[in-house]
Amino acid sequence: MGIAVVCNLLPLCFFKYFDFAAAQIRSLIGLAGIDVDFGSTGVAVPVAISFLTFHGISYVVDIHRGKVQASRSLIDLLLYISFFPHLVAGPIVRASEFLGQLAKPSDPRNIDLGGSTLLILGGLFKKVVVASHLSILFVDPVFTNPQAYGSVDLILAVYAYAIVIYCDFSAYTDIAIGVADLLGYKFPRNFDQPYIALSLQEFWRRWHITLSTWLRDYLYIPLGGGRGGSWLTYRNLILTMVLGGLWHGAGLQFIVWGALHGFGLAAERLMRESTDASGRFRQFLRSEAGQTLRWLVVFNFVCIAWVFFRSPDAAGAVDYLATIARRVGDRAPLTVSPLVLVLMMAGFLTQLLPPSAYEAADGSFRKIALAGKIAFSTTAIWTVIMLAPSGMAPFIYFQF
């Protein structure tokens, strides 16, 4: 198993992290006055190499743990590794969730046409209408040149990016889940109203669910999880999130982003362990006012951490936050438009929709005649196309 895991990791480390690691080592050695050039790979990162690696590792580890039987069909295994709907940006599907579906042919009568169609249409709306316009009209200009904007615009751009990355990423996974279902395969859910979380732990149970559970099962638990005492647990949480951040990209900004969440999770656990269950503070946190305060703290913490995720480098993120601090109370004119505010509101409302809302919409869609379903879908797609901006950027997670 160890050899198999290493064989999965070697291509990822070479293509994605060699240049970054070489640059960091060269800088450290340079402090001693020694100039060493490690060279460069000189090649682009292969498409979806991170997700291919995750699927390969989970497969061999689950076989070792006895959670799944080794596939006797090379074609089935290759299909699992490279199934196109979720290949580039997830969700991360376990072998136990996918290979079993290949054991027998899919029954077309079990395909949820209505639910799949609504997922795909909802994903198109979130990506094309909300995320793309917010990025082009507001987020990209502000993050590109923060010095040209006042503190209010800078703060609003942080919240706008939180909406952008949710709408962009959840849109891809919704489309992937819908397309897979139309082909007869069931994918796990990847988002569950993440911005209503009252703790960072809850946030990660709701955000990129397949990644957070993957990190838990294949990194946090093998490191020791919560079995080695409090301080080892804190270490495991921080290390898991730092490596999770590094997985997103070979850059210091992603490491800082992961470290912020790791230290935040450790701080939450320390607070829970040091607070008496019957204490007034614990009772306050359970009250309506306490829950509101918890939501505000968690949401703003997540949004501030997103600054590192969005910025081209860690220095740019620090400069962005410092610019906000320097310009608090300034009277710079607002540049945010009413359309941007409407899009932000629409984007935030999309993540407030509970699963029951999709189920209700699916039930209504099922009652429509086939001609009506075709007309509705065609009209919705045409509307999205008409509202699409020119030169729309690819999905954010395509770079990972």
Which residues form the catalytic set?
248
Contact 195, 166 (CB under 8 A): yes
Q: Is the dihedral of CA 259, 261, 264, 270 positive or negative?
A: negative
Torsion, Cα 136 87 93 195, to 10 degrees, reads 0
For residues 387 and 285, give the distance between their C-alpha atoms in angstroms, rounded to a whole number: 43
Distance of alpha carbon 233 from alpha carbon 235, whole angstroms? 5
Per the document, the length of the chain is 400
Burial class (CB in 10 A: 0-12, 13-18, 19+), 56: buried
User: Which DSSP helix (H) or strand (E) runs through 378?
Assistant: helix 370-387
Are the C-beta atoms of 362 and 114 separated by less than 8 Å?
A: yes
Q: Phi and psi at residue 340, in whole multiples of 5°?
A: -65, -40
- Identify the residue whose tokens are 């990644």: 211
Burial status of residue 224 (CB atoms within 10 A of its CB: 0-12, 13-18, 19 or more): middle
Give how far Cα 155 sits from Cα of 14, 149, 163, 298, 358, Å.
38, 10, 13, 16, 32
Residues 6 or more apart whose Cβ sits within 8 Å of residue 199? 268, 294, 298
* Spatial distance between the Cα atoms of 265 and 242, rounded to a whole number of angstroms: 12
User: Rounded to an integer, what distance in angstroms lies between the CA atom of residue 5 and that of residue 383?
Assistant: 46
The closest alpha carbon to 167, from 137, 199, 135, belongs to: 135
